[in-house]
Structure 1
C-alpha cells in the first residue's frame, strides 16, 4: 500500500448528492416522571445541531481533507438555515436547492444520560419534480469534481438518479452509491455500490454460503451494469466483489460503542482514498479500518487522517512512515476536533534536537487533554533566539520527528518577525483549552496565557527533566569531536 497517499487527500474532489438532513439533539437530565402522563421529564441543558444523512457523508470527507461539495434539497425554513450554517463551518461547499412547499428533513432526538428518550422526525418525501431540480444543478457544478457519490436515504431527492448517473458517467466521473432501494437497476452505470448485508439480501443476494454470496453478488452487478460491490458485513468485515475478483477484509478488533453512521464513514473514506490515487483494494482496506474507528465512538462520528495513520501503522504493519498533517490544514483539524468536544492542549518550543526531556514533557502535556498541538519556532526564529549556528535541524525535519511521537497530534510553525518570536498570535487563533509551558515560568510571563485564561482555559507549568537540554547535547558533541581529533 502507498502510505504516502494520505498526504494527497486534499487532491480528492468529491460531490455528494443525496438526502440531506439536520440532526438535532436535546441533552438533559431525567429526575422525575411527568404528572401529566407516565413519561420521563427531561430538563434540557444543551442543544446540538449536526449534519445528517448525505450531509454527514460530506462531513466525513471534509474531515479527511477531501475537497467536497454537497447537493441536496432543503425547505425554506429555520432548519434549512441551520444546516447551511453547519456546512459552512465544516468547510463543505454547499449546493443545496431550496424547495418552498416542503420542510427540511430533520431528526430530533432527546438524550438523557447517554440514552435516547424519544426521536421526532420532521419530513415529507420529495417528488421526482424536486429531484429534477437537483439534476439541473448537478449539470451546472459537475465539472468541478472528479467523483460523484450518491447517498440514498429513500427520501425522494434521488428520484431522478438514473439520469443523474448517466449525466455523471457521460462527463467521465467515477460514481459511487450508498443504495437504499432494493431495485439495483436504478443504479445502472455506477462504478461502486456499498450495500450492507440486509440491503444485499433485499436486492436478491443470497448468503447461504460464501460461494453463493459471491456468485449472487456477481450476478447482481452484471445484470444491472455495476462495476463492483463493496458489501459491508458487520462483524464479518467487508468484501469487495467484481466480475473476476473478490477481496475479503476482516472486521477490526475494536470495542463497538455505536454503529450509527458507520456506512457513511465507509463510502466517504473509500471515495476519498480513491480520489487521492489509492488502488481500489487498498482504498477498501483503509475504509475498513475507518469503520472500525468510527464504531468505537458514540454517535455519527468522523475519522481524521491522524487516526487513520495510527491504525494503519498498527494493522498494516507499516514501518518507517507516518502521516504528518500539512501545516496549512492544522487549524482546520483543530476546529473539527473542537466541534467533536475534544480538549485541546498547546505547547511550544524549538525542539531542535529531540531528547528524553522533550519526550517526557510532551507526554505529560498530552495527558492533560485529548489532542496536543506543538507550536514550532521556524528556522529564522531559532537563529534570532539561539545564534547563527542554530538550528541544527531544519523545520521540516524537526516537524517530522515531532509528529512521529504518539503524544503529538499536530505541529504548526510560528516565528515571523512580526510575531516577535512568540506564539501569542498562534495561541489566539487556536484558543486551546490548556496552555502548557516547561520551566520555572510564572503564568504572567508566558506568551498567550492572558488570552487562554480570558477564554476560560488553564495555564500549566511543567518542570523539565534534569540534565536534559539541547545546548548540553551540542556541547557534549563538540567535546567528543575535540577529544577524537
Structure 2
C-alpha cells in the first residue's frame, strides 16, 4: 500500500440515504439512590442534541470537509426542526421526507460521570411512508454526488433498498451500504457493504478462523454481486475482501475504547468521503480504520474532523517529531499548517554539535512554532568540508539533533544545497546563521517567491566545528 495521506475531502460529494435520528443526551451528577426504587437519582444539568443514524454519517462527511447531502424520513415535529438546524449549520444539505403522523426517531440517553445509565427510544417504523416519496427526494439531488451511502438501521427508511440501488447504478454512482438484519440479499448489486462481524455471522454462520471468514466472505461477494465486502471486527480490526484479490486485514487502532456508539457511522463516512475524493479502496479502508480508532475514544455519537484524522495519519507514519523522510515531513507540515502553526527551516552539516549550534537552534525555533533542521548527507559534507569530514555519519548527527528540545523534525538531503527540499516543503521562515546578508542566503529567492520570510542569526562567538577538529588534531 502507498504511503498513507489524507485526501482532498473538500472535493468529495456524498449522498447519504437512510434512517435519520435525534440522539439526545441528558448529563447530570449522581449523588444518591432514589427512595422510591434502587436506582440512582440524576440531577440533569445539561441537555445535548446530536444528529444520529444517517444524520451522523452525513455530519461526519461534512466535518471532514466534504459536501454532504442527506435524504430520509422524519416526523413533522420539533425534533426534525432541531436536526435540520444542526445539520444545516454544519454544512449538510437536508432533503427530509417529513411524515406528519409519525414522530422523528429519538434516542434519549441519561449520562452521569461519563457513564450511560439508561437509554429511552421514541420511535415508530414510518409505516405510512410510501417508498416512492423517498425516491423522488433522491432523484432530485443524486446527480450532485459521486458516492451514495445507504445507512440502514431498520427503522423504515430503507424498506426497499433495491429501488435506490438501481437508481444509483443507472447514474453511475458507487453505492456503499451499512447493512442491518439477516437478509443481505436486499442489497444485491451494491458496490460495497460494511457489516460488523456479528451481522456477518448472523447471515453466513459462525467463522472459527480467518480462513473460514475469508471463504464465506467470498461466497457472499459472489451471491450478492458485490465489488467489495468490508467486515468490521471490533478489537480484531477490519477485513476487506474483493473478488479474485488477496484479502486485506487491518489491525484495530483504538488505544482506549470508551464508547462504540456511532463507530460504524464513522467507518462508512470516512470510507465514502475518501472514495469520493479519488482514493483507491485499500487506502480508503485504512483511513476508515484509523478514524474508527479515534471515535471509540469519545463519548456518544461523535463526528471526526479532518485535523483529527490528519494527526492520526501523522502518528501512523511516524511523523510526530524526530528523524523522518521527506514524505513523512510533508504529512507533518500539512497537519501543523492546518492548525495554524508557523514552520521554520534551517540547514547545515552539524558534524560535531556544540554550544553555538544549540544556541542558534533555540533562536531559530523562536521564529515560529515548528523547526525543521535539514542535514547534509555524508557525501555532501565531504564535498563541502574536504578530507576527514564528516566526523560523525549522518544518522548519528540526525539522532543528536532530534534529541534537542528546540528541534521538531530532522531530515537529510543529498545535494550540496537544500534548495530542492525548500521548494518541496515551503517553510514560512528560512533561517541561516553566519555573516550573510539576506540576499546571500542559499534558497532565499525560493522562500521569498511565495511570500516567506528569510532571517539571518549570529552564531555564538568562539564556537566552530572546524576549530574543534583542528584543536583535537593538535593535541
What are the within-5 Å matches in structure 2 for residues 327-476 of structure 1? 356=362, 359=365, 397-398=426-427, 474=456, 476=458
Give the match for residue 201 of structure 1: 201
Deviations 1:437-478 (A, max 9, x none): xxxxxxxxxxxxxxxxxxxxxxxxxxxxxxxxx99x52539x
Q: Within 2, Cα distance between the matches of 1:281 and 1:59?
A: 23
- 1:190 lines up with 2:194 in the alignment: no
Contact 1:71-1:97 within 8 A present in 2 as well:
yes
Q: Within 1, Cα distance between the matches of 2:256 and 2:140?
A: 44
What are the within-5 Å matches in structure 2 for residues 312-331 of structure 1? 312-317=313-318, 319-322=328-331, 324=334
Q: Within 1, Cα distance between the matches of 2:336 and 2:130?
A: 40
- State the secondary structure of the residue aligned to 2:109: strand
Q: Within 1, Cα distance between the matches of 2:91 and 2:195?
A: 28
Deviations 1:365-386 (A, max 9, x none): xxxxxxxxxxxxxxxxxxxxxx
Distance 1:171 1:297, change over 3 A: same
Deviations 1:70-100 (A, max 9, x none): 1111111111111111101221111111110
Deviation at 1:356, TM superposition (A): 3.2
Distance 1:60 1:474, change over 3 A: same
**Which segments of 5 or more consecutive residues in structure 1 lack a partner in the other structure?**
335-345, 365-392, 402-469, 480-485
Deviation at 1:65, TM superposition (A): 1.1
Give the match for residue 466 of structure 2: none
Give the match for residue 10 of structure 1: 10
Deviation at 1:216, TM superposition (A): 0.9
Distance 1:398 1:161, change over 3 A: same
- State the secondary structure of the residue aligned to 1:163: helix
Q: Within 2, Cα distance between the matches of 1:126 and 1:400?
A: 59
Give the match for residue 232 of structure 1: 232
Deviations 1:115-157 (A, max 9, x none): 2222111100023744431111111111111100000000010
Q: Within 1, Cα distance between the matches of 2:343 and 2:170?
A: 53
- State the secondary structure of the residue aligned to 1:10: helix
Q: Within 1, Cα distance between the matches of 2:110 and 2:368?
A: 39
What CA RMSD, in Å, does the superposition of the two structures yield over aligned residues?
3.1
Q: Higher Cα Rg: structure 1 or 2?
A: 2
Give the match for residue 294 of structure 2: 293
Give the match for residue 472 of structure 2: none
TM-score, L = length of structure 1? 0.68
Give the match for residue 96 of structure 2: 96
Q: Within 2, Cα distance between the matches of 1:399 and 1:270?
A: 33
Contact 1:20-1:55 within 8 A present in 2 as well:
yes
TM-score, L = length of structure 2? 0.70
Deviations 1:45-77 (A, max 9, x none): 111000101111111111111111111111111
Give the match for residue 27 of structure 1: 27
Q: Within 1, Cα distance between the matches of 2:24 and 2:225?
A: 38
- State the secondary structure of the residue aligned to 2:252: coil
- 1:137 lines up with 2:137 in the alignment: yes
Give the match for residue 282 of structure 2: 281
Deviation at 1:302, TM superposition (A): 2.5
How many residues align? The count is: 363
- State the secondary structure of the residue aligned to 2:204: coil
Deviations 1:344-381 (A, max 9, x none): xx9x9x877786357579779xxxxxxxxxxxxxxxxx
